[in-house]
Amino acid sequence: MDSLTPRRMVTLGLMIGSFLGSMEATVVATAMPTIVGQLGGLSIYGWAFSIYVLASSAGIPVTGKLSDMFGRRIVYAWSMALFLIASLLCSLAPTMYWLIVFRGLQGLGAAGLLPLAIIMVGDMFTFTERARVQAIFSGVWGVSSIAGPLFGGFLVDKIGWPSVFYVNIPFGFLSAWLVWHYWVDQHELATGDPYIDYPGAIAVSASAIVLLMALIDIVSWHGALLLALACGLGYIAYRIEKTSPDPIIPLALFHWKLFSVAITHSLVIGWLLNGVTAYVPLFVQEVQKGTATEAGAALTPLLFSWVVSSAVCAKVMLKTGYRMPAIAGMGGVCAGGALLVLLHAGSPHLLVMASMLVMGCGLGFTVPAILIAVQSTVDRPRLGAATSMIQFSRSIGGSIGVGAMGALLNWEVGRTGFPTALQRTFWVAAGVTAIGMFVTLSAPAISAEEMSQRK
């Protein structure tokens, strides 16, 4: 991998795969009214969204571990194959029930596309290069999430709803070919008849799926029952992983302070990101009576400032190590959260944009700093497991955040009215940023020289 050309080809392939996997979470939003009109199933159509998120989140720890054992290339290829086969099946679905099943399979495929891109970046690039490349991938994920509904609406209007799914196939083949042809695994792979922790994989995935299902409707009685079941399954998974000779989730990683900080940090960032992206556009449209375009545009400063500040973070980390930019970035996130608290119906739209700009700058520093610190210091055989657990924690945190803020909003609406209730959800977001600052301050100091020498 000394030549720049193979790295560029692999990076291009990973960017395409990441774009597809991320976009597929949102592209069906504008297609669903048409799909429901043709397939029926209005009462269950929400599961076409939820099942994709459930499956893709639950599969992250498993694919990360499998890539450590068998290599990134083969796991990426199988993940892309499953994603593309499921995409084709989705385009042919005869009923809403079958579409939901195929969307679940599609999510399992995406579970290997998004985290493996980050893991493989950690393999390919040095400490000095990694933050700049991570900034590019942040832009890919952000653009795909925003472009998904727009692109989906265009395809539905011009071609038909099945095109939302089968358009993935040519680009997916290109991504898989680039990665398969140019990638060379750089760590020692499993030999002979390797042990695969099937009980652990099943227990971890089942507990994650049930937990995410509980968080979808946490305030209801069945949500509470699912949460209790998730805790029980989580305990079973813990017991299995504790005694497994080669666990899907290496529990020893949690004895490492930096990793524990990174997991908690990711939970906070996931909570904040999903909460902000769900409720800031709602505030603009329903409280400030802005248009749908203005509501979508409110998040644009967060995206672009994140990308730009990530590139700056790369240069800062070379001189200071990761801790200073991580803390400074979390300070920016806290400042953005404080600006959100100031919002009310009469606030200028510029204040919304400013809060997103400041928060995006902070995220562009703190998120890659923590991730790159872990990737630069973890043993290479456990790079996949460590990176995928960080991504998994962010997914869980995002689900918790949306569920908790949604529950508070529903609780407060009847008592205070919608504008005040929505404003109080921003108080929750601000409180979460304060927790994130406390966690980040506890991160151990590692110099730039030590980080560059460890890998």
Read off the pLDDT band of 130 (50, 70, 90): confident
Which pLDDT does position 2 carry in this prediction? 46
pLDDT exceeds cutoff 90 at 123 = no
Q: 335 vs 250, which has greater pLDDT?
A: 335
d(CA 248, CA 260) in angstroms, rounded, equals 17
> Are 327 and 272 spatial neighbours (Cβ–Cβ below 8 Å)?
no
Q: Is the per-residue pLDDT at 409 higher than 70?
A: yes
**pLDDT greater than 70 at residue 194:** no
251-455: same fold as 1-193?
yes
Segments making up each domain of the chain, as ranges = 1-193, 197-245, 251-455
Cα dihedral across residues 168, 171, 177, 182: positive or negative:
negative
Question: Rounded to 5 degrees, what angle do the CA atoms 347, 352, 357 make?
Answer: 150
pTM: 0.80
The token duo for 393 is 């924690």
CB burial of 324-357 (b: ≥16 within 10 Å; e: otherwise) equals bbbbbbbbbbbbbbbbbbebeeebeeeebbbbbb
pLDDT band at 452 (very low <50, low <70, confident <90, very high): low
Those residues with Cβ within 8 angstroms of residue 103's Cβ, 6 or more apart along the chain or in another chain: 28, 47, 48, 51, 52, 55, 86, 90
Residue 414: pLDDT over 80: no
CA 332/CA 361 separation, integer angstroms: 7
| Band (292; pLDDT cuts 50, 70, 90) | low
Report the chain's mean pLDDT, rounded to a whole number: 82
Res. 455: pLDDT tops 60: no
DSSP assignment letter at 255: G
Token digits of residue 350: 């510029």
Segment 128-148 mean pLDDT: 70
Q: What is the pLDDT of residues 355-373, one digit of tens each?
A: 999 998 999 899 888 988 8
State the alpha helices, DSSP H only, in 257-348: 257-282, 292-297, 300-320, 323-341
Tell me the per-residue pLDDT of 225-253, one tens digit each, with 9 for 90 and over.
Answer: 888 888 898 899 889 888 887 777 788 88
User: Residue 246 gets which letter from DSSP?
Assistant: S
CA distance 81 to 59: 15
Contacts for 33 with CB less than 8 Å, ≥ 6 apart: none
Q: What is the pLDDT of residues 141-162, one digit of tens each?
A: 766 766 666 677 777 777 888 8
Residue 313 to residues 15, 117, 258, 372: CA-CA distances in angstroms?
Answer: 21, 20, 19, 11
For the stretch 187-192, contacts whose Cβ atoms lie closer than 8 Å and that sit 24 or more positions apart, written own/partner, are 187/68, 187/123, 187/380, 187/381, 187/383, 188/381, 189/69, 189/70, 189/71, 190/69, 190/70
402's CB contacts (< 8 A; 6+ apart) are 215, 274, 275, 278
| CATH no., domain 1-193 | 1.20.1250.20
Q: In terms of Cα–Cα distance, which of 53, 39, 445, 436 is closest to 266?
A: 436
Whole-angstrom distance, CA of residue 189 vs CA of residue 357: 43
- Work out the percent of the chain whose per-residue pLDDT is above 90: 17
Structure confidence at residue 441 as a pLDDT band (50, 70, 90): very high
- Give the model's pLDDT for residue 180: 92
CATH number, domain 251-455: 1.20.1250.20
Q: What is the pLDDT of residue 202?
A: 84
Residue with tokens 């000394």: 2
Q: Which of 314, 288, 238, 317 is nearest to 422 (CA)?
A: 288
The four Cα atoms 407, 411, 412, 418 give a dihedral, to 10 degrees, of: 70
Q: Which string of DSSP letters, residue by residue, matches 12-55?
A: HHHHHHHHHHHHTTTTTTTTHHHHHHHH--GGGTTHHHHHHHHH
Structure tokens at 186: 């750089």
Q: φ, ψ for residue 189 (rounded to 5)?
A: -90, 165
pLDDT band for position 29 (50/70/90)? low
Give the pLDDT score at 68: 81
Lowest mean pLDDT across 1-10, 377-386, 397-406, 418-427: 1-10
Task: Report whether pLDDT(20) > 70.
Answer: yes
User: Has residue 1 got a pLDDT over 50?
Assistant: no
| Residue ranges of E strands in 351-432 | none
pLDDT in tens, 32-86: 778 878 888 777 766 777 788 778 888 888 888 888 888 888 999 999 999 999 9
